[in-house]
Amino acid sequence: MSTPPLHLSGVVLPDGEHRDLWVRDGRFTTEPVPGAETVSRGGWLVPGLVDAHCHVGIGRGGTPVEDLAGLREQALAERAAGVLALRDCGAPVDTRALDDEPDLPQVIRAGRHLAAPKRYIPGLAVELGPADLADEVRVQARRGDGWVKLVGDWIDRGVGDLAPEWPEEAVAAAIAAAHEEGARVTAHTFGTDALPALIRSGIDCIEHGTGLTEELVAEMAARGTAVVPTLVNVEHFPSFAAAGEKRFPAYASTMRRLHAGSGAVVRAAYEAGVPVFAGTDAGGGIEHGRIADEVRALHEAGLPAEAALAAASWGARAWLGLPCIEEGARADVVVYDADPRADLATLARPARIVLRGRVVA
């Protein structure tokens, strides 16, 4: 689809220089384009935001969203918040029809969740035993966009608390299989016990990571393993604890302890050099479009404001192989009237959103 030429002028982040940019055929150029419409002058230009843990295709209560209109509604809520690319960390439905919609964010998929039988939210995961995990990882790697999602731990009703889903040998074989397919692997973990095997086996990212210890953080830093803390979801841990208290008091205690220490874990990870990225876990119990809340939560946990913003923009884009504001790159940019590094609350008020070279908001 052809797009009319555009002109933007402002402070370009992350370098902080005031520049004039043009958009021709949906892509950035520094060469003036005759007849281009000036759509922004004097603002702060931020590479399109990224929600690095999102679930387009999961509705309230964990129910699959089957209809295209429902999928579009979720994706548009992300776009309205300035999210122009999202890493979909597991969805039970095929969302590829969204790729044909030029007004929607780019979706980077991880296929379906992979979980042990009866050890995750019903209906969301492919449930299978350890012996079949590596083979299914290959299937999901070929269906996704370079990522595979494991469920690393969940409540074990026999134990009455969080427990690992897989033996270490199954984890190691699964991660090796994904890497052979050219995919990276991430895993849901709340507690601690599943983490050593995942990290030792070479996993690429940990989701939530509330159970990380000082030793595990150091190993992640040495390996370059990333973490997506999803702090807006972690805020729900006390309600999870209350819901499970009567039947599983040990689980309730664990969830309260993990909630209390979550900010310190994020701060320790960042200070140790672990790559930290912003993800909301939108879908299910989290509304779409909350990336600004997650960035502020990362800052409150101890990341400097610019680092928290980078975790949802240029840093996350580099991690996912997406370009920023540069010659020839697809024109995905969010414009703000004030410097968001000086006040992260500015992220909730985008002045212009340009997606694929078109003004969409």
Own/partner pairs, 122-127, CB within 8 angstroms, 24+ separation: 122/62, 123/62, 123/63, 123/64, 123/92, 124/58, 124/62, 124/64, 124/90, 124/92, 125/90, 125/92, 125/151
Q: How far, in Å, CA of 114 to CA of 177, rounded? A: 14
pLDDT at 1: 58
Specify the CATH class of 6-47+321-359 in words: mainly beta
Cα–Cα dist 67/324, whole Å: 32
Other CB atoms closer than 10 Å to residue 327's CB: what's the count?
11
- Residue 260: strand, helix, or coil: helix
Mean pLDDT of the chain: 97
List the chain domain ranges. Answer: 6-47+321-359, 50-319
Round the CA-based radius of gyration of the chain to a whole number and report it: 20
CATH class for domain 50-319?
A: alpha beta
Taking Cα atoms as reference points, which of 216, 225, 220 lies closest to residue 193? Answer: 216
pLDDT along the chain (361 residues), means of 10: 90 98 98 97 97 96 92 98 97 94 97 96 96 98 97 97 98 98 98 98 98 98 98 98 97 98 98 98 95 98 98 98 98 98 97 97 91
Residue 246 one-letter amino acid:
K
Contact 82, 48 (CB under 8 A): yes
Length of the chain: 361
Q: Which pTM value belongs to this model? A: 0.97
* pLDDT at residue 60, as a whole number: 86
Q: Does residue 238 have a cis peptide bond before it, meaning omega lies within 30 degrees of 0?
A: no
* Spatial CB neighbours of 286, under 8 Å, sequence gap ≥ 6: 232, 233, 236, 280
Query: What DSSP state is assigned to residue 58?
Result: B
Task: Return d(Cα 334, Cα 313) in angstroms, integer.
Answer: 10
Residue 237 structure tokens = 């841990």
CB 41 within 8 A of CB 29: no
Q: Is 62 left (phi over 0), alpha (psi -120 to 50) or beta?
A: left
